Amino acid sequence: MINRVLQVGALASLLGLMVACSTQSPPLSKQVMIQGTWRAEFDGQPVTLEYNVGEITVHDLGLHLNYEWIDEDHIRLNAMGQQVESRIEFETPDLMRQITDGEVQVLRRVRR
């Protein structure tokens, strides 16, 4: 009888572990995490940027800039005819660092 109780307990624990593992979603890619509205400062001025697939809208300036992913960590931005490559890092889903030529730009997600 005790043996049967132990078997049922072990089976229940195993099933619980399997359910917990199967309900965890995989981490989001940077290509997905970058999408949305972000706030940053450029030369001391606050700027709002909206990242969509392949395009950044700089709302404060009325600019639309195209970008593409070079690999899973880097984007190439077409900034008015000039090609700029940046490394994208996420400290959290709401804090992004964009590193260009050694300069770090910190962006914070805007939640609506």
For the chain, the domains span 30-109
pLDDT score, position 14: 45
pLDDT score, position 27: 78
Angle at 43 between CA 77 and CA 95, to 5 degrees: 60
Are the beta carbons of 99 and 107 closer than 8 angstroms?
no
pLDDT score, position 55: 97
pLDDT score, position 86: 97
**Confidence (pTM):** 0.73
Q: Is the pLDDT of residue 35 over 60?
A: yes
With pLDDT > 70 as the criterion, what percentage of the chain qualifies? 79
CATH number for the domain running over 30-109:
2.40.128.280
pLDDT score, position 57: 96
Q: Is the pLDDT of residue 29 over 70?
A: yes
How do residues 61-99 score in pLDDT, each as one tens digit?
999 999 999 999 999 999 878 999 999 999 999 999 999
Beta-carbon count within 10 A of 106 CB: 13
pLDDT score, position 81: 86
Confidence band, pLDDT 50/70/90 cuts, at residue 15: very low
Tokens of 71: 């690999």
The tokens 């404060």 sit on which residue? 60
